[in-house]
A and B are shown apart, each in its own frame.
Chain A
Amino acid sequence: MQMAMGKEKRQRAIKKNLVAWCFLLPFLYFFVNFLLYPILKGIHLSLYDSTLGGSQSFARLSNYIAMFQDKNFWNSMFNTLFFVVISTPTIVLVGFIFAMFINSKLKGTIFIRACLFSPYVLSMSVVTGLWIFIFQPYTGLVTQMTAKLGVGEMYWLNTKWLVWLAILITTVWWTVGFNMVLFLAGLQDIPDEIYEAARIDGANSRQILFRITIPMLKDTITLVILLQTIASFKLFGQTYLMAGGGPGTHTKTIVHYIYETGFTNRKMGYAAALSFAFFVVVFLVTLLQNKLLGSKEE
């Protein structure tokens, strides 16, 4: 009797498992084939001396060793880190200021919010195309304005440090709306009573900002900073389309270098090693994010 019941139970369990797997299978098919497998394949590939459509031979860790000695790798890593360092504080700060605009209950807030957010829905190609017309030499909108103001001709996209400023402005314009919305959600979670109580106690707006708003937004600030850091690490389209990584290799980022190594120079094995290094860096940042956010939730 008991054995029969056990058997029935087992059968029911098998059926349950089967049903669940039917629900999982469609997603897992794509997940395994087009995300999981490429990750493993990439790690495998990075151990080979392999060319696109060509030969393959086992190379142990030589790709990684070569990477550490590769000036171009360090240069592109430096450029990427440089952008992370200049863009993250800027975009986070501007996003915060914009969220404060929206949160101060002005008339027509919905219009302001729509204006500030709208660039975010545009495609990167459209955004870069637009800003090329703003920054390009001779006929660019800003170029002509600065020429009229007597600053002289500025070659935004061909001048060493100016090009970063142009790319920073473009990126801020394009993506700041996203951070603004995250901050806005955080701001709206702060109960009005706290502000009122502070005002009754005679706190001025600066004290309210630094003693109430910012401390209460801590979780949001952490989230925004880390999401922005990761997004900045992935920089490629803006620098590639607006400046071609130039002048020289001045704006060549790590993703650009991976692309160039793999697709232009067809060194797939080496490109896979670069990708893995890139992944490790981003992964560590993400891990840090989850750790910081997770410890706050408890």
Chain B
Amino acid sequence: MQRIKPGRVVLYVVAYATALLWLFPVLWMIVSSFKPYGTPVSILEKVVTGVFTLENYGTIAEKAPIFRWTFNSLFVAVIVTFGTILFTSMAAYAISKLDFKWKKGIFLLITAGMMVPIESIIIPLYQNMADRQLLNTYVGLMCPSLAAPIGVLIMKRFYDSLPKDLFEAAVLDGANAFQRWVHVCLPMSKSSMAAVGIFTFTNSWNNFLWPFLSITSEKMMTLPVGIPQFQGANLSEFTLPMTASVVASVPAILVFLIFQKQIIKGIAMTGIKG
């Protein structure tokens, strides 16, 4: 039997206290969203006592096209996620398993592309999109995300680790390059694709800078752009912006709760910062 050491008790208290402190703002946001219109949410007694209601969820839907924003965010995130998984997997397969000219150069270029922060190309990107008439469109929202090189690097690293024999056996069975990708690579790389997919989804869902620059029409806004605007217009009505924030967070929180293990493994594996 181990004795309970005082140091251990202190550790428990500090760790749990910190965890609850960290969770507190999120809980506060969620609970506040169920408080009637006009509740002063900064007075905590009034938040935890009294009436709870769903009326804010109806009100924000009337005041702002919040469901449209949710749809926009979801639509963009889903297409970007599937596009990224497909395209990065294909490109990584070519670089890892096929022979072609300038292979090294292309890979170097993609690696170098990873070092370019989007913040440093917003000006030409904006002009480029304006020339193509892609501002305020879904396509315009999606394209820069589909250019992100990190997925290629993650997938390539995984394909590099697949044993050569697998591919040699497939060649002997008469499988062409496309069949080897579909029947060998794709089934084996499910977890890497999941990691890339989860990241792409949450990054797209939370993406702020590019939608903020490229979207001016209220109908085309995604949640991260719409919410601050809504909050700015309703700064005195605490409960409404809180409710809007909850709506914006639910999908990301759900994805996190469901895929917690994969997300954490994914970060540890790759060190992607959104």
With A33-B147, A237-B208 given, is the CB distance from A118 to B253 under 8 Å?
yes
Task: Bin chain A's interface residue count.
Answer: 35 or more
Q: Tell me which residues across on chain A come within 8 A of B241, comparing CB atoms.
A: 129, 133
Q: Kindly specify which of B52-60, B160-168, B188-196, B223-231 makes contact with the partner chain.
A: B223-231
Which residues in A have their C-beta under 8 angstroms from that of B148?
35
* Contacts across chains A and B counted by CB atoms under 8 Å: 264
| B interface bracket (residues with beta carbon within 8 Å of A) | 35 or more
Q: Is the CB of B123 closer than 8 A to any CB of chain A? A: yes
A260 to B43, CA, bound (A): 37
Minimal Cβ-Cβ distance residue in A for B86 = A26
The interface residues of chain B, by DSSP majority, are classed as: helix
Contact A23 B91 (CB under 8 A): yes
Q: Interface segment, A68-76, A136-144, A159-167?
A: A136-144
Contact B22 A116 (CB under 8 A): yes
**Shortest CB–CB separation between residue A236 and chain B, in angstroms?**
7
Docked Cα-Cα span, A134 to B209, in Å, equals 24
**CB of A197 within 8 A of chain B?**
no
Q: How far is the CB of A263 from chain B (nearest CB, A)?
A: 7
The reply to whether A30 and B15 form a contact with Cβ atoms under 8 Å apart is: no
Q: Compute how far the CA of A54 lies from the CA of B165 in the bound complex, rounded to whole angstroms.
A: 60
- Residues on A with C-beta less than 8 A from B122 are 258-259, 262, 275
B228 lies within 8 A of A139 (CB) = no
**Which chain B residues (200-252) contact chain A, with CB distance < 8 Å?**
202, 205-206, 208-209, 213, 223-225, 227-228, 231, 235, 238, 241-242, 245, 248-249, 252
A26 and B25 in contact, given A16-B99, A259-B122 (Cβ under 8 angstroms): no
Instruction: Determine whether the beta carbon of A262 is less than 8 Å from that of B123.
Output: yes
- Tell me the B residues contacting A by CB distance below 8 Å: 7, 11-12, 14-16, 18-20, 22-23, 25-26, 28-29, 40-44, 86-88, 90-91, 93-95, 98-101, 103, 106, 109-110, 113, 115-117, 119-128, 130, 143-144, 146-149, 152, 176-178, 181, 202, 205-206, 208-209, 213, 223-225, 227-228, 231, 235, 238, 241-242, 245, 248-249, 252-253, 255-257, 260, 263-264, 267-269, 271, 273
Q: Please list the 5 inter-chain residue pairs (A to B) with the smallest Cβ-Cβ separation, ordered nearest first.
A: A185-B268, A20-B100, A279-B120, A23-B94, A27-B91
